[in-house]
Every structure is written in C-alpha cells, then in structure tokens.
Chains A and B, each alone.
Chain A
Amino acid sequence: MEPATRKLLHSLTALADLGAEISSTHEFDEVMSASLHTMLGTLAMSRGAIARFSSRPLQLKVIAAKGNRILKGEKIVLGREEAEYLASCSRPVGLAEGNGLAGFTSRNGDLMKRLRAGSLAPAVARGELMGVILLSEKFNRESLTEQDLAIIAAIARHIGIAMYNHRLMVSLKRKAEENRRLYRGMRQMYQDTIRAFAAAIDLKDAYTSGHSDRVSRYSEAIAKEMGLTGTELEYIAVAGHLHDIGKIVVDRTIINNPRPLTEPEFLELNKHVTTGYEILSSIGHPWNEIAYMTKCHHERVDGRGYPQGLVGDQIPLGAKIVTLADSFDAMMTDRPYRSRLPLQQALGELQRNTGKQFAREVVLAFCRLLKKEISGEIRSRVLTMTVGRKFEREAVDSMLTSMLAAGDAGNQAMSC
C-alpha cells in the first residue's frame, strides 16, 4: 500500500472510532480521554491536553491529559480577545508563530513547557468556543503537514460538538432536576395543607384527635389492597382526610354532646356531608371527585344511608372505602358515650353489617389486609396501628378466615 494511502486509512479509521466513541454511553471524561488519544495516535504525538472553555470565570480547565505531570483540573489563563480570536479560527494555530496567542504562550509558559506544546486547536461548535486541544510536536519532531492540519481540524470539530452536546445535556438535567424539586415542594405544600385542614376538623371534636388522619391512612391501605393505584389512590387518601370537613360549620356543642342526639340535632349534624360537598366542589377539577366521595361517606349499600339514599354501586368506590375506614376508627377509639371496642367485637360489627352499611368487596379487602398484618406477612401496620399487641390473636385470625371464606362463597354464588 502507498504510504499516503496507508496514512489516510489510519486517519479515516481514527475518525470512525472517534464517532463511535462520542456517540457511546461512556462517561464524558472517558470520551474526552479517548478522543485525545485518538488525536495523538493519529498524528503520532506524545503529549496533549483537552481543556474546556468557560466564559465566567474566563478560563480553560484541563479535562483530559496525556503526558508527564499534566493534571486534570489544571486551569489555564485566557484573555477575552484570545478567546474571540480562537472562536474565529477554523484551523489549528502554531504557538510559536506571531499570531493572536503570543501573550497566551508566555502567560502559561510552565504548562506549555510540560506539554511541549507546539500547537493549539480550537474546538468550536455553532460558532462558540467550547474548548481547546493543546498538542505537543510530533514524536519524530517533524513539522506538521497540510494533511496533518486538516486532520487535527476535523478531530477538533468532533470534540467541539461532543463538548457542546454534553453542556446541553448537563443543563437539561439541571433544569429537569429543578422542576422535580419545585414539583416535590408543591406536592409537599399541598399535602401539608390537607393535613392542616384535617387537624382543624378534628380539633372541633374533643374526642377524635387524629381521626381524619387515621381514616385517610386506613382508606389508602384498603384501596391499595383492592389494586387501586396512582391518582385514584391519592384522591381516596385525600377524601379520607377531608371527609368530615363539613363539620367545621356544625355547632361544637352538638359534636361534643355525650348524650344521644335529639332529632333536630341529628339533622343538623347530618348536614356536614352536604356542606363538605359544597366546600370542596367549589375547588374544581379534580376535586369534584373528592368532593363527591365526602358527600357519600354516610351512604349505605342497602340504601338506608344519607343524604341521597344511594344503593350499591351508585355509591362511588372511594366513598365505600372511606365509610368503612371511618366506622372502623370510630369503633377502635374511645367515644364520649362508650370506650373503644375490642378488635374481635369490631370485626363482628363489620361482619354483621356487610351488605348493609358496608360493601362486601371493601370488607373483604379489609379482612385480607388485616390478616396479612396480623400474620406478619407484611411489615407495615396500618389497620393495626391502634390495636397494640393485646388481642385474641387466634380468635381474630379464625374470624378473619371465616369472613374471607364466606366472601369467597358469596362471590361464587354471584358468578353462577
């Protein structure tokens, strides 16, 4: 093969390798180091460095280096006019020549000596100076040919584009991260607001501190057990927090009354569902769904609830879940007129009211989750958070087993 052809082939292969390296998924530092080696190996040079340009502060910083005692991170001083001069250069610049870089060479004399720097190739992309490639003389001390200069310019262009793309990616990543942070902050604020509201509702009732928070957590856990995810799950949790928001306008003496309520008092208290709906539905999408769930949290699947007397699936699933969570928490906490029920007795109430006050599918999901928590199959303790360790474990477990078995039988009967 003719020497010229051999050399051309070597350079072309180098450019192809470089293209593959630059579009690879390797770390940027690795890409730069491989690019530098490609440049030096193509021209048989022993030393070199790639430095990235920054305009503020005005400097070059070494990001890849080959040769003795040249360190990554080293800074190179560059003047504004020199930077402008380099951005306008389309070819490598000899450092010994009387061009726009005379001051540059003397100012950075020590590094230039260590590099045995002979020339400098600007890496420019879209007319913008991205960095420079400092090159030693050739290993055999011969001077650069026209062809060498063309190859250096071609590889420098590649490196410039790689640096440009990298900078773009870094800034995109930073923006995306900032957006994520803002979004997280907003969500946090939103959740804190809902929690604050819930606490305000509970404050009205001396006996139900933390009630709304627990109802929300029960509801969310049951909904998850039923396979709900995403926003549906989230809305149910919010509805759990805010289900009693209408109580804000109910007279405190009625809420805290330890005696059975009179008929007018009862009607007054029941208004909290429609009032809650009015408050929340004024917020707009997606809150109308949440508003409607709170409106329906005293409905019963047998149609004997209020305010609308809805039946079965006319009641939204989220409301059915909150209804059960609400009653379960009421049974598991002390009230002015009675102390909390033992877990076994509370389960008995749920069982007796399945298909009446409570939807069967919700009771079943509740039982499945409770069984998992009690058996230790799952680590989290949501439904059992107020239960403690003192309960008839075996009795509760066998009760849950029979409730689940009855549920299965019921489901089969329905599918026949």
Chain B
Amino acid sequence: MRRIEIRSKLVENTAILYPGPYLNQLRGEAIENRCLELLSEGVRSVVINFEDTELINSIGVSILIGVIESIHESSGKLLLTNLSESNRELFDVLGLLSQVEIIESEEQALASFRGLTGAALC
C-alpha cells in the first residue's frame, strides 16, 4: 500500500495540517491517521490549512467529516483556514459550514486558540 506523509507542525500545542494540492482518498487517510495520532497524544486544538488545496473530492469530504467527528468526540476544536472560493462553496452546498468553523488565515486561527486558552486560564 502506498503511504503518504502529509506536512504538519505543532505551534503552542496546536497542530496544523496541510492536506496539499488534492484532498483525495490517500491524502484524506493520511490526514485522518495523523489527526488520530495527535488526539491520542493529547492535542486538542487542530487547524487544517487548505492554502495549497485546489480540489477536494467526495472521498476527501467523507474522510474530512470523519476527522471533524473524531475531534468533536474528543472534545477538541478544529478550525479550517485558507479555503479557496470554490472549496468554500462546496462546503456550503454540502451544509458543512454550520458544522465546522472556518477562519481566514492560519495566524488568525492560532490567535483564536490563544484567546481560548487565555480565557480558560482566567
């Protein structure tokens, strides 16, 4: 079986994942596996940055929904960033915009998580 590594990094306990140009079965499964791994390591804040992602196919959507569910079930929080116009439209017609939060940029997402932690510390 082909194995695909997807780019990811950890900033202040927030995991940031980059699905790459085409979110299909292979890349979707790689993201799902990485997410489950991070959740098991105790990470609860996840950002998926779609800056390079031109296309998301049905299988990609299905796996992404699984990821959203897994993060919710572990009481984590997921933010999607840098969605192109057409990908945002796709999420809209699929009714996903009400299920997951979309933020303009990675920095804003990190700031939002920072705010959450700050609030929790008070």
Binding site for B on A (CB under 8 A): 1, 3-4, 6-7, 10, 13-14, 17, 34, 36-46, 66-68, 138-140, 142
**CB pairs A–B below 8 angstroms (28 shown):** A3-B89, A6-B86, A7-B93, A13-B58, A14-B57, A17-B57, A17-B59, A34-B25, A37-B25, A38-B58, A38-B59, A39-B58, A41-B59, A41-B61, A41-B62, A42-B58, A44-B94, A44-B95, A45-B62, A46-B66, A46-B69, A66-B62, A66-B66, A68-B73, A139-B95, A140-B95, A140-B99, A142-B95
Choose among B63, B73, B92, B98 the residue that contacts A37 (Cβ–Cβ < 8 A): B63
B69 to chain A, nearest CB (A): 5
Cβ B92 vs Cβ A3 within 8 A: yes
Contacts of B99 in A (CB 8 A): 139-140
- The docked-state distance in angstroms from the alpha carbon of A262 to that of B36 is 95
Smallest CB-CB separation from A4: which chain B residue? B93
Binding site for A on B (CB under 8 A): 25, 57-63, 65-66, 68-69, 73, 86, 89-90, 92-96, 98-99
Smallest CB-CB separation from A36: which chain B residue? B62
A367 to chain B, nearest CB (A): 53
Choose among B25, B58, B65, B66 the residue that contacts A14 (Cβ–Cβ < 8 A): B58
Tell me what chain A mostly uses at the interface: helix, strand, loop, or mixed.
Answer: helix
Contacts of A67 in B (CB 8 A): 66
B5 to chain A, nearest CB (A): 21
- The docked-state distance in angstroms from the alpha carbon of A36 to that of B6 is 24
Contacts of B94 in A (CB 8 A): 7, 10, 43-44, 139
B118 to chain A, nearest CB (A): 31
The 6 A-B pairs of least Cβ separation, nearest first, read A41-B58, A41-B62, A41-B61, A140-B95, A44-B94, A14-B58
- The docked-state distance in angstroms from the alpha carbon of A14 to that of B96 is 17
Given A139-B99, A142-B95, verify A10-B66 contact (CB < 8 Å): no
B51 to chain A, nearest CB (A): 21
Cβ A44 vs Cβ B96 within 8 A: yes
Contacts of B69 in A (CB 8 A): 46, 68
Central interface residue in B65, B92, B98, by most chain A CB within 10 Å? B65
Cβ B95 vs Cβ A6 within 8 A: no
Smallest CB-CB separation from B95: which chain A residue? A140
Contacts of A40 in B (CB 8 A): 58, 61-62, 65
Cβ A37 vs Cβ B95 within 8 A: no
- The docked-state distance in angstroms from the alpha carbon of A6 to that of B91 is 10
B60 to chain A, nearest CB (A): 7
Cβ B59 vs Cβ A1 within 8 A: no
15 A-B pairs besides A36-B62, A43-B94, A44-B61 with CB distance below 8 A are A1-B86, A6-B89, A6-B90, A7-B94, A10-B90, A17-B58, A37-B62, A39-B58, A40-B58, A40-B65, A41-B58, A44-B94, A45-B62, A67-B66, A139-B96
Contacts of B96 in A (CB 8 A): 44, 139-140
Contacts of A6 in B (CB 8 A): 86, 89-90, 92-93
- The docked-state distance in angstroms from the alpha carbon of A38 to that of B69 is 18
- The docked-state distance in angstroms from the alpha carbon of A157 to that of B106 is 42
Contacts of B89 in A (CB 8 A): 1, 3, 6
Given A1-B89, A44-B95, A44-B96, verify A10-B65 contact (CB < 8 Å): no
A125 to chain B, nearest CB (A): 22
- The docked-state distance in angstroms from the alpha carbon of A339 to that of B89 is 97
A31 to chain B, nearest CB (A): 11
Contacts of A36 in B (CB 8 A): 62
Contacts of B66 in A (CB 8 A): 46, 66-67
- The docked-state distance in angstroms from the alpha carbon of A1 to that of B93 is 11
Contacts of B58 in A (CB 8 A): 10, 13-14, 17, 37-42
Central interface residue in B69, B92, B94, by most chain A CB within 10 Å? B94
Central interface residue in B59, B66, B89, B99, by most chain A CB within 10 Å? B59
Given A46-B65, A46-B69, verify A13-B57 contact (CB < 8 Å): yes
- The docked-state distance in angstroms from the alpha carbon of A44 to that of B60 is 11
